[in-house]
Every structure is written in C-alpha cells, then in structure tokens.
Amino acid sequence: MAYGFELVYKRFRKQAPPSFEGKANPMVAEDWLRSVEAIFDHMQLNDHQRISCVAYLLKLDARIWWDVEFGKKYHSEAVLATRVDKFVTLVQGNLSITDYAQKFDRLARFAPKVVPTEDMRFQRFMRGLKPMITRDVKMTSAEVVSYAEVLDKALEAEYLEDRIWTDIAPRREANRNKGFHEGNKRKANEG
C-alpha cells in the first residue's frame, strides 16, 4: 500500500465504514452504499481513492463479485496474452538491473507456465540481461541455483561495470581532448 493512500485509508477507517457481504436484500445494499458515499463525500476522496477504500469493505459474496468483475476487466485473455508476450520478450536494454528485475517480477506473475520452476525463472532472467552482465554473472559463480543469487550477482556486476566506466571516462575524455589539440596544432603548422 502506497504511503499516501495508507494515510487516506487510515482516515477512512476512523469513520467506521460498514462492510458489505453482498446479501440479496436491495435495501441493505442501498443503505450500505449511502453510508459509504457519505463518508467519501465528507472526506472529499477522488474516484481512485474511493475504489481503493471500498474494495476493503467487500466481504463474502460481495468480494467474489468484485474479484470476478475486476478479473473480467483487467485479466481478460487478451490482456494476459499481451503481458505474457511482454514477459517473453523482456530484455534489460537500457534499464538498470533493479528496474529490469522489477519489470521481470511484475510480468512473471502473468506467465507462470513460461517459468514454472525456479531454474526456468532464473534462466529466463539471465537471457534478458545485457551480454556483459550475463558474462560476469557466469564467470563469478560456478553454479548459480536461484533467481535471488542471479539477481545478487547481476547487481554486483552492474556496480563493478559502473565503477569501471567511471574510472575510464576521464582517461577517454583526456585522450579525446589530446587528439583534438594535436589536430589543431597540425592544422596551425600546415597553414
């Protein structure tokens, strides 16, 4: 739960909103809706905050209904297929290891058949890493056996690669400037 929403939710809970179990009685449903809307209006919540808060109040049959409706909208076959495709084609590219791992983990939830085992999960993660990071991970350990180990090794390799580039950058710049100055001297001598 995001920190900002957590504060909103705490304020919302202090209003003692009633839960709703989804009973078939329309009067009960109407009374529940009015009392919750009154709290929303009093707190001046936006639509996103209202939806997030009300989801916590749904119990039993109402929760089942919510999950089904939510699933229809956000987890349709087409949406799931798109997320699986994104997972299968995910590569690190210009992402940091941390950002790549975050995207990987988010998309992996939708592709349990693609990575059903720990071994397949870390192998898929490795395939998406930059080649230099993959090389470093493979060279630094005889046998990596878990996704957590691969991630740890990849973070270490990224850190070391960044240090190397930081160390090399001033020398490369100096060499570039040296070549520029020598070129200018040559032009001056020729002219």
Report pLDDT for 99: 92
Assess whether 180 and 138 both reside in one domain: yes
Assess whether 81 and 146 both reside in one domain: yes
Assess whether 90 and 60 both reside in one domain: no
Assess whether 147 and 83 both reside in one domain: yes
pTM tops 0.75, yes or no: no
Measured CA to CA, the distance from residue 75 to residue 89 in angstroms comes to 20
Per-residue pLDDT of 123-151, as tens digits, reads: 899 999 999 998 988 887 667 668 888 88
